[in-house]
Each structure stands twice: as C-alpha cells, then as structure tokens.
Amino acid sequence: MAEPDTTTDAAEVVYSGALRRIQRCMGILAVALPIVAWFSFGGRTAIGLACGCLVALFNFVWLKRGVEALADRVVGAGKAQSGKGIVARFLLRYVLMGLAAYGILTVSPASLYGLLAGLFLPVAAIACEAAYEVYVALARGL
Amino acid sequence: MRKLSYVFMILSALCLAVPAFAQAGQASTVNWVAITSGFAMAIASAVCGMAQAKATAAAAEGLARNPSARPGIQLALILGLALIESLALYTLVIIFAKVK
C-alpha cells in the first residue's frame, strides 16, 4: 500500500495560507513603515506614507473581493453577483487612489513621495511572503 | 514583408531626421520631458491593462475548465494583478521624479 505524500500535503498547507499572510504582512508594514518614516523623513512624509499604505491595503482587499466574485461567477458557486457590479467595484479602486493622490497633492505636495512609496505596500508584502516561502522550502525541504 | 519594409523605411527616416532637429540654432522651449512622460504613462497603462485582461481571461478559462483548481488560480491571479498594477505605479513614480 502506497504511503500518502506528506511533503506535498505540507507544501499545500504552507501555500494555502499565502494570501492571509500577505494581508497580515501588509497590516504590519502599514503600521511600522510610517513610524520609521516619521523619525527618518519627518511628519509630512510619514502621513503621506500612511495614506498610501491605507489606500494600497483597501486596494488589495477590494482586488481580492473582486477576484473572488469573478471566480464565483465563473464557477457558478456562491451568491450570484451582477457583472456590472463586479466591474464597477474593480474600477472604483482606481477612483479612490486618484482621489487620495489629488487630496494629498493639494494639501501637501511634500508628502506625495510618501504616498507613492506607500502604494507599493503589496509589492513589499509579496516580497516578504516570497522570502518566507523560500525559507520554509529550505528549512523543511518542501 | 512589404509592410515591414515600410516600417524600417520610416524608422530610418526618423533616425536621419534626429540630427537635423539638433542643428536648430535656438534652444527649444518645448517641455519634452512632460510630453514623453505623458506618452510613457499612456503606454504603461495600456500595456498593464492588456496584461491584466490577458491574466484575467486565462484565469477565467482555467477556472471554467477545472473548478477544483480554484484556490491556486485565484491566488496566482490576485498576486499577478497586484504586481501588474505596480508596474504602472513604477512608471508614475519615475514621472513624478523627473517632472517637477
């Protein structure tokens, strides 16, 4: 009788939690980075960075919800949502980002660089997740 | 083939035209950085849009063919879309850094 492949199961367990870990990492970075920026670059940059992180966080959550709704619609599972609603929510993210950038730019141009840096929060979180997965793969031999 | 030769002819004509523009006596007042930044943002947005459309279409097709592979496809799609969006943001950052 063949033994169950425990390595594949363990790998699936690690990879299935990737999205949750990325969101958690984004939350931690959204708090930590503005604090570091406050002491390093000043208050305005830190506020801009915090706004950018917040927008990126909402953007990522809405992106996730949009993709989930799309998958529900394709598979035919879950509550049926209108295609127009999914597309409208998808586009609403860009409106939010544009409004935040415009607001920051009109209030304080100095914090614009902080806002732009904050928008890269998902990239930083994905990089952290990639590093974590490399570590897990090397440490556990997955 | 004929179309390709026309493209190369136009490109070579443009290459020859560049030194001719450079020989103008007066300094140009046109803000080329702003103009090229607009084009760069437009090209980046268009290519990112096409990439997102292609990724979404491929994911939807994969989901329709194999619904049991949903978690993996969904994760890959979310990460892919986030990273593609960040490429347009890179262009925006470069534009803000260059255009004052």
Q: pLDDT tens across A27-40, in order?
A: 999 999 999 999 99
d(CA A89, CA B83): 19
- pLDDT band at residue A8 under the 50/70/90 scheme: low
Residue, of A66 and A105, whose pLDDT is higher: A66
Mean pLDDT of A133-139: 87
Largest CA distance in chain B: 68
- Cβ-count burial of A2 within 10 angstroms (0-12 exposed, 13-18 middle, 19+ buried)? exposed
Mean pLDDT of A41-59: 87
Q: Which domain holds residue B50?
A: 32-100
Any idea what the Cα angle at residue A22 is, between residues A16 and A24, rounded to 5°?
Answer: 110
In a domain, A71, yes or no: yes
Q: B59: domain CATH number?
A: 1.20.20.10
What are the b/e assignments for A16-43, b being 16+ CB within 10 Å? eebbeebbebbeebbeebbeebbeebee
- Amino acid found at B71: P
Could A75 and B67 be called an inter-chain contact, meaning their C-beta atoms sit closer than 8 Å? yes
User: What distance in Å separates residue A35's CA from the closest CA in chain B?
Assistant: 22
Residue pair A74/B60 in contact (Cβ under 8 Å)? The answer is yes
User: CB atoms < 10 A from the CB of A113, how many?
Assistant: 18
In a domain, B42, yes or no: yes
Count of domains observed in chain B: 1
User: What distance in Å separates residue B98's CA from the closest CA in chain A?
Assistant: 12
User: What distance in Å separates residue B41's CA from the closest CA in chain A?
Assistant: 14
Contacts of B88 (CB under 8 A, 6+ apart): B41, B44, B45, B48
Q: Which domain holds residue A74?
A: 22-132
ipTM confidence score: 0.76
In a domain, B14, yes or no: no
**In angstroms, what CA-CA distances link A115 with A54, A109, A119, B86, B89?**
10, 10, 6, 14, 11
Mean pLDDT of A12-39: 88
pLDDT < 50 positions in chain B: none
Residue pair A29/A125 in contact (Cβ under 8 Å)? The answer is yes
Could A67 and B81 be called an inter-chain contact, meaning their C-beta atoms sit closer than 8 Å? yes
Instruction: Determine the length of chain B.
Output: 100
Percent pLDDT > 70 in chain A is 86
- Position A89 pLDDT exceeds 70: yes
- pLDDT band at residue A2 under the 50/70/90 scheme: low
What pLDDT, on a 0 to 100 scale, did the predictor assign at position A75?
Answer: 81
What pLDDT, on a 0 to 100 scale, did the predictor assign at position A30?
Answer: 92
In a domain, B81, yes or no: yes
| Nearest residue on chain B to A68, alpha-carbon basis | B74
d(CA B56, CA A107): 37
Count of domains observed in chain A: 1
What pLDDT, on a 0 to 100 scale, did the predictor assign at position B50?
Answer: 94
In a domain, B70, yes or no: yes
In a domain, B18, yes or no: no
